[in-house]
C-alpha cells in the first residue's frame, strides 16, 4: 500500500458518495493510518455535481483536498468529464459503465463496471477497494456490518459491496 493515497469520489447528489467516503476514511483509521475527508456539492441536494476527497496517509496530512489523485471514482458523466482530462498515466479512473461514456483521450488507466446494477454506492466502494487497494476488504466489511446493525446502512449493503468487489477482481 502506498504511503499516501489521494482518492476522489465524484458524481451527482444523492448517490451516497459522502457515505462511502466516510467508510473509507474510518477503515483507514482502524488500520492505524491517518485519514481526512472533504466534500463539496451544489446547493440543491440531488442531481448537481458532488465530490468527496479522501486522503489516506501513514504520515501527517497537511491539506484536505486531493491535488494529485491516485484514484478517481466517477458515477456520472459530469464527474468523468471534469476529471478525465486532468489525470495522468499513474492515476486509476473507475467509472460506472452504465452512466459514463469514456474518452479515448484520457491518459489514466480506466476501468468501467456496471456499478448502478451491482448495487450503487456500496458496490462502487467494493470496486474501488478491489482495484485501488486503499484499505483491507475485511476492514470495510466489518464497518458495513456494524452500520447495518446500527441501521445507518440498509440490509443488503454488504452484498452490494461484495458484488462490486468480486466484479472488479
The per-residue pLDDT for range 36-58, each reduced to its tens digit, is 999 987 655 566 888 999 999 99
Q: How far apart are alpha carbons 11 and 91 in whole angstroms?
A: 18
Give the number of domains in the chain: 1
Asked if 116 contacts 96 with a C-beta cutoff of 8 angstroms, the reply is: yes
In angstroms and rounded to an integer, the radius of gyration of the C-alpha atoms of the chain is: 15
Q: How far apart are alpha carbons 20 and 7 in whole angstroms?
A: 12
pTM > 0.85: yes
Q: How far apart are alpha carbons 106 and 116 in whole angstroms?
A: 22
Alpha helices in 75-132 (DSSP H): 77-83, 115-118, 121-132
Half-sphere exposure of 22 (CA within 13 A, CB side): 9
- Write down the pLDDT at residue 2: 67
Owning domain of residue 153: 4-168
User: How far apart, in Å, do the first and last CA atoms of the chain sit?
Assistant: 17
Half-sphere exposure of 68 (CA within 13 A, CB side): 4
The per-residue pLDDT for range 81-120, each reduced to its tens digit, is 999 999 999 999 999 999 999 998 999 999 999 999 999 9
Confidence of residue 153 (pLDDT cuts 50, 70, 90): confident
The per-residue pLDDT for range 6-45, each reduced to its tens digit, is 999 999 987 889 999 999 999 999 999 999 999 987 655 5
Residue 47 belongs to domain with CATH number:
3.40.920.10
Amino acid at each position: 500500500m502506498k504511503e499516501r493515497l489521494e482518492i476522489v469520489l465524484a458524481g451527482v447528489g444523492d448517490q451516497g458518495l459522502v457515505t462511502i467516503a466516510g467508510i473509507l476514511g474510518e477503515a483507514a483509521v482502524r488500520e492505524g493510518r491517518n485519514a481526512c475527508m472533504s466534500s463539496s456539492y451544489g446547493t440543491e441536494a440531488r442531481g448537481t455535481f458532488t465530490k468527496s476527497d479522501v486522503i489516506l496517509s501513514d504520515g501527517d496530512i497537511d491539506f484536505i483536498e486531493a491535488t494529485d489523485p491516485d484514484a478517481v471514482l466517477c458515477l456520472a458523466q459530469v464527474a468523468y468529464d471534469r476529471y478525465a482530462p486532468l489525470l495522468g498515466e499513474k492515476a486509476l479512473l473507475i467509472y460506472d459503465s452504465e452512466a459514463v461514456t469514456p474518452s479515448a483521450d484520457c491518459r489514466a488507466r480506466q476501468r468501467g463496471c456496471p456499478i448502478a446494477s451491482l448495487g450503487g454506492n456500496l458496490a462502487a466502494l467494493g470496486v474501488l477497494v478491489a482495484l485501488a487497494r486503499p484499505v483491507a476488504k475485511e476492514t470495510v466489511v466489518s464497518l458495513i456490518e456494524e452500520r447495518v446493525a446500527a441501521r445507518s446502512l440498509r440490509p443488503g449493503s454488504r452484498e452490494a459491496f461484495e458484488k462490486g468487489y468480486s466484479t472488479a477482481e
